[in-house]
Amino acid sequence: MNLKVNLAGVELKNPVMTASGTFGSGMEYSEFVDLSRLGAVVTKGVANHPWLGNPTPRIAEVTGGMLNAIGLQNPGIDVFCERDIPFLKQYDTKIIVNVCGKTTEDYLEVVERLADEPVDLLEINISCPNVKEGGIAFGQDPKAVEAITKAVKEKAKQPVIMKLSPNVTDIVTMAKAAEAGGADVLSLINTLTGMKFDIHRRKFALANKTGGMSGPCVKPVAVRMVYQVAHAVSVPVIGMGGIQNAEDAIEFLMAGATAVSVGTANFHNPFTTVEVVDGIADYMRVHGMEDVKEIFLAE
C-alpha cells in the first residue's frame, strides 16, 4: 500500500503530522512517539524573538474539548535554530516550522532566518493579531491574507503553507485569497474563539477572557470547512480539528484533505499520531485500497 503524499513537491511517507502548539518541537513527545513514523512534525509557533505568552490561567476544559490562551509562548527563532532543528534532524520525518508574528516584518524576519536552515515547509499562522492594523487577525481580512501570503512567498525558500482561521464568515474567500497570494498549501482549521466562566469563583476561566477552542467538539465544523476549501482551490489542503483517531482522520481525507494534523488528542493520548497512521493503513487494507488517495470521496 502507498501511504505517501505530496505537499508542493515535498513527499511525506504518510499523511499524518502534528498540529502546531500541541507537540512542542517534538522533543517533549519523543519518548512516547517514534518521530520517524510520522509524515511530518509541525513545530510550535516560532517568532522573531522570545514571547512570554499570556498570564495564567490559560487553559480550561470544556465539554468535548478545551480552550487555550497560551499566547504563542516560544523561545524565539535563535533558540529554535540552535536546539530544535538539530534535534528533529535525527529523525526520518519532514520538518514543518510554524511561524507567528505581530507585524508583516515579524513574519518575514523568521522566514528569512529559516531560508538556509534544513527545514522542509513553513506554516504561517495568520490567526495572529496584526498590531499595526488595530489588532484584527491577519486571517480575518481577505486583502490582508493575500498581502501577507505574497510577502512571505517573496522571501521564503521553502514551500509555504498558509494556516487559515475559522473565525470568518466565508472560509472559501480566505482560502482563495491565500491561493491568489501564492500559497503552496493551505492548512485548516485553527482554533475557534470561545469563552468560559468559572461560576463559583465568579471569574473568567481564562485570564485572557477568550481562548481558542479545540478538540472533538470542533470536528464537524472543521470537516465542513476542509471540504469547502478542498473543492474550491487547486493547492493541497491539510485538514485538522478534533482528530482523535484514524476514523476522524479518514473523514478529513474523504473530504479532500491531502494530509491531516493531530492536535489536542496528543495531550491525553501521546500515542495518537502513530495510532492514526496504523489505523489508516488498516482501513485501506479492509477496503482493498492500494493508494491513500483512494480514500477521497469525489462527490
The torsion angle over the Cα atoms of residues 195, 168, 240 and 69, rounded to 10 degrees, is -30
Q: Where are the beta strands (DSSP E) in 135-294?
A: 160-163, 185-188, 192-195, 197-198, 203-204, 210-214, 237-240, 259-262
Active site residue 217: no
Contact of 45 with 75, CB cutoff 8 Å:
no
DSSP 83: I
Q: At what angle do helices 272-286 and 246-255 cross, to 10 degrees?
A: 60
User: Exposed (0-12), middle (13-18) or buried (19+): which is 160, by Cβ within 10 Å?
Assistant: buried
| Intra-chain end-to-end CA distance of the chain, in Å | 24
Choosing from 81, 100, 128, 217, the catalytic residue is 128
Q: Which of the residues are catalytic? A: 128
